[in-house]
């Protein structure tokens, strides 16, 4: 499958990292913190981050949107955002010039924050809401219903693709899975969010959930630099219908998949299955 651009880890990739790290690091203490790139640390100094982590036990790991939250025994939290090319690797070689931080744990595990483009960020906070308060609702929560989605969309006269990518509206959906959900719902990415019919909203709500859950089952999509904590690839990309499939035949009708830009984001869709105007 040809990939034409890097892809940021989205909800399924971050959920996979959380799921695979949790049994290996929860209950372990930070024994040493090495920051290779000071620009990684946000909201505090490198020294304060190290002092605040060493001796603390990881009590749990949560995901909120695309953020990972490590809850610590002292009541504070470490929040990580991988951004475009960040990965968290267990016991990886740290000779790579892309290693930005190494967290040594009490079981002699090294958790390496690797980041080719150096865009990821790490916070140490007393209250996680100081970082994540502006995020919209979680699309996999039971409370995320068609009525909730309709209430969010009716406020926006922008393309539905752009609406799905706005993390303050819905948390966690990124470029790949927005394209996949819109294709599954047969909705054109340029259709205005507030113009969707109740039936389209209900269909889209269903497919947002099914697309994300399917990708989590595939351990995320290894498009670009994403790998799982122990170095394995995800397989969700092999089930993509339109994302990163420019020029390939639509699996539903055979029409060549098109690529356009929506608010400066590459967008893949089928012009036959996802019509901007209704057939007459």
Closest CA to 251 of 204, 178, 186: 186
A 10 A CB-CB count for 261 gives 8
Residue 23 neighbours by CB distance under 10 Å: 8
Q: Count H helices and E strands in the chain, helices first.
A: 7, 10
How far is residue 236's CA from residue 124's CA, in Å, rounded to a whole number? 32
Contact between 242 and 258 (Cβ < 8 Å): no
What is the separation of C-alpha 44 from the centre of its chain, rounded to a whole number of angstroms? 24
Beta strands in 73-176 (DSSP E): 77-81, 86-90, 99-105, 110-115, 121-125
Indicate which residues carry an active-site annotation.
9-10, 66, 265
Burial code (b: 16+ CB inside 10 Å, e: under 16) for 49-58 equals bbebbeebeb
Contact 255, 271 (CB under 8 A): yes
- The CA-CA-CA angle for residues 261, 221, 244, to 5°, reads 30
**Which residue blocks in the chain are alpha helix, DSSP H?**
11-25, 46-53, 129-132, 146-153, 160-165, 175-185, 198-217
Backbone dihedral region of 225: left (phi > 0), alpha (psi from -120 to 50 degrees) or beta? alpha
């Amino acid at each position: 499958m040809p990939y034409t651009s890097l892809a940021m880890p989205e909800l399924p990739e971050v959920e996979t990292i959380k799921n695979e790290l949790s049994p290996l690091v929860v209950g372990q203490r930070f024994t040493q913190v090495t920051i290779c790139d000071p620009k990684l640390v946000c909201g505090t100094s490198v020294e304060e981050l190290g002092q605040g982590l060493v001796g603390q036990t990881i009590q749990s790991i949560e995901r909120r949107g695309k953020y990972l939250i490590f809850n610590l025994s002292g009541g504070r939290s470490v929040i990580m955002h991988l951004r475009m090319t960040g990965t968290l690797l267990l016991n990886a070689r740290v000779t790579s010039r892309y290693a930005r931080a190494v967290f040594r744990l009490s079981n002699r595990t090294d958790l390496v924050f690797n980041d080719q483009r150096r865009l990821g960020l790490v916070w140490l906070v007393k209250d996680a809401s100081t970082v994540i308060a502006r995020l919209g609702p979680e699309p996999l929560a039971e409370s995320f219903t068609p009525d909730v989605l309709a209430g969010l969309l009716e406020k926006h006269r922008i393309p539905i693709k752009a609406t799905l990518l706005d993390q303050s509206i819905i948390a966690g959906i990124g470029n790949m899975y927005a394209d996949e959900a819109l294709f599954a719902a047969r909705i054109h990415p340029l259709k205005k969010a507030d113009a969707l019919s109740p039936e389209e909203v209900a269909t889209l709500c269903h497919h947002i959930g099914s697309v994300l859950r399917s990708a989590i089952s595939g351990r995320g999509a290894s498009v670009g630099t994403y790998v799982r904590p122990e170095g394995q690839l995800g397989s969700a990309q092999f089930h993509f219908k339109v994302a990163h499939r420019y020029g390939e035949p639509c699996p539903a009708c055979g029409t060549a998949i098109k690529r356009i830009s929506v608010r400066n984001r590459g967008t893949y869709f089928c012009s036959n299955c996802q019509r901007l105007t209704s057939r007459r």
